Structure 1
């Protein structure tokens, strides 16, 4: 009976849905309540710092703790606590942001452990979050659903995750490997090399991935088109983000990492140059986001024994990419800039794939 139940609710399915719910709940409370803060600009910075930058140290702690579901449930508890009435705005931002970070790290490690080296699993896990942010933010602004509905879903889902874990392993101890920070480079796995050179090669690869992710983050918040403000094309835009992330991992596993990176970003750069037309813009967003699970897959292979920390490195890059827009409020309105950023991302990722033949 346990095996039947577990097949019905695989880790990737339950944590992908939970990703949607957590991001929905955080976006809802941010726009429903936190937006009332007179120092909104500070509160939103604190929220984003906790939600993204904190994932790196939390990831390291989670790797060592080896209790991923405990970290996930702690994330739920923090987000639920942010819904308490009459708490200070700054505390709300810290609770919601830290809860978001805890969930992403615990769920991310759990899915990476279950992925068996597949990028598609990572794409399926990360993609629903964009839907959660979009619809949670929209409904939070409108205050169109009661706050206790969101709370109820959070509480019920936390019990479902608890049940899922009991069916899967009967313990909170998970399958994280012993933590070490030895880089495993893709072009010489299983070969002995100069440890000094390997360290700098691995570090350079991680910096390259951080640049790609930081640029994607900046594009995500700063890219503006007039047609995005319409309801129909706004929905299509967010669908492009979600399905781009989901299909990026699937295509990488099916057609190869290098082929997926080259085709998706090359055509994204072309479509961005015509993005004044909404259909070309949506296609560009779809293709541009296909590299999201691929970058996560790459860094999890470089640091296979510190997956939470690796996950956190890239979310820290997301925070760094958010800062320029937060500080300057300069949107990307010229399609040529989007195309240039896409080409830069393509060149960086192709350098990573150089000489890579059989790694997907």
Structure 2
């Protein structure tokens, strides 16, 4: 029940932020400010969350701040700052709570992250929903106060931590974390640089959003069932050429977006397994590396070959990271 509440709150938080920004002409120039506050601060927010360790209450605070900032008649600049900080706080608190209670399973993580993209899309397409989603977020955030901490009913099958002798442990841990973060950023850059000429109606935009959401949800489940290497093959190696060369066609684009988004829970899960005592920092760090990739990708028009090369390089790097993790006693 608590996991479902977190997932709904994630959907509503992103819907509130998007609808608040796009419901007013005044808000448009503040998009960059919002993105900076909502995404690039999550690493810092994660550190603070790990110090406090009250992840559920941190998520509640983020949800309440976001909802109230959207509803209250306050200056635009202040509204943008508050919804950006609220978004960052909710994501880190909710993400850390789910990671901590997931018994080293990736399925709950996929369920949590998936609805956010749909909330963002619907908020952009239908900004008039702002008051409704804000009230709903306010209510579910209050409801979370009385809910139990999230804890998976399944026992953990693998609670091992990364272990290597001497200095090698620190070096290899740094290499793995760097690979994961580079992977997150370049995947974001390549994804945002792609245009879909067929996405010219609200219906088709929502259809694409549904496939993105389903990919994120499925990624965690698939990872738990068949492990990381098959997920890398499916979500990066196969999706790469599809996205690079067939984005002008509807069906291949939908399949490609479903597959590439399966990799999102994978990278988050890998980062958490490397930083098991710092779930807030792990979640926030991954999210903060989305922003530079997104910012660069939106300003670039990459050739099909370069996009393919990025995806192939991404797959190789992730494969190397998985193998090093296995050498350090972590099987993903």
Aligned residues of 1:269 and 1:343 also touching (Cα < 8 A): yes
Per-residue CA distance 1:158-178 (angstroms, 9 max, x = gap): 22111214xx59xxxx9xxxx
Aligned residues of 2:17 and 2:123 also touching (Cα < 8 A): yes
**What aligned pairs does 1:117-196 form with structure 2 within 5 A after superposition?**
117-140=104-127, 143=128, 145=129, 147-165=130-148, 168=149, 189=161, 191-194=163-166, 196=167
CA-CA distance at 1:229 after TM superposition: 2.1
Aligned residues of 2:106 and 2:221 also touching (Cα < 8 A): yes
CA-CA distance at 1:191 after TM superposition: 4.6
Mapped pair 1:263 → 2:254 = no
- Matched residue of 2:262: which SS? helix
Aligned residue among 166, 175, 181 for 1:204: 175
Q: 1:113 is matched with which residue?
A: 100
State how far apart, in whole Å, the 2-side matches of 1:190 and 1:243 are: 31
CA-CA distance at 1:90 after TM superposition: 1.9
In structure 2, runs of 5+ residues without a counterpart are: 152-157
State how far apart, in whole Å, the 2-side matches of 1:286 and 1:148 are: 31
Q: 1:25 is matched with which residue?
A: 16
Q: 1:330 is matched with which residue?
A: 300
Aligned residues of 1:275 and 1:335 also touching (Cα < 8 A): no
Which structure has the greater CA radius of gyration?
1
CA-CA distance at 1:221 after TM superposition: 2.8
Per-residue CA distance 1:304-357 (angstroms, 9 max, x = gap): 11111111111110112123246xx3344x443332222121111111122639
Q: Please report the TM-score for the alignment, with normalisation by the length of structure 2.
A: 0.90
Mapped pair 1:216 → 2:187 = yes
State how far apart, in whole Å, the 1-side matches of 2:257 and 2:89 are: 28
Mapped pair 1:36 → 2:26 = yes
State how far apart, in whole Å, the 1-side matches of 2:307 and 2:43 are: 28
State how far apart, in whole Å, the 1-side matches of 2:240 and 2:207 are: 19
Q: 1:349 is matched with which residue?
A: 318
CA-CA distance at 1:111 after TM superposition: 0.4
State how far apart, in whole Å, the 2-side matches of 1:251 and 1:99 are: 31
Q: 1:47 is matched with which residue?
A: 34
In structure 1, runs of 5+ residues without a counterpart are: 1-8, 175-185
- Matched residue of 1:83: which SS? helix
**What aligned pairs does 1:69-88 form with structure 2 within 5 A after superposition?**
69-88=56-75
